[in-house]
Structure 1
């Protein structure tokens, strides 16, 4: 499944995944404690999404937006 997400790095609320309503750019908001430095936030996003969907981290891939707060990710839930 492919999904658009909005990332909130450096959040005290994280790791947390919430559904968004009314945001045309993203379906989920992912709050992570890691800062957006040297890919740490991306690693936190992968870990948070894997835990949320109950899949291993190897099944979560960032397709677009490595350096953006809005990302497109693929989650293999088979």
Structure 2
């Protein structure tokens, strides 16, 4: 029984730095987007506010992707 308590104490002490790192990492990893103005939208790839481009006339079954500035088939990014 004593071995069980010793091993569990060692496991808890070994896992404590991982737990502390994961708690602090969650706050660092989350970013709040800028408040974009004048009809702009937040682009997380470039981390900036982008002005929307005029949409082309996409074919039926396609959608306008403002980030890549092209018409794409539904289901594709």
If the length of structure 1 is used for normalisation, what is the TM-score?
A: 0.21
Which structure has more relative contact order (CA 8 Å, sep 6+)? It is: 1
Higher Rg of the two aligned structures: 2
More strand by share: 1
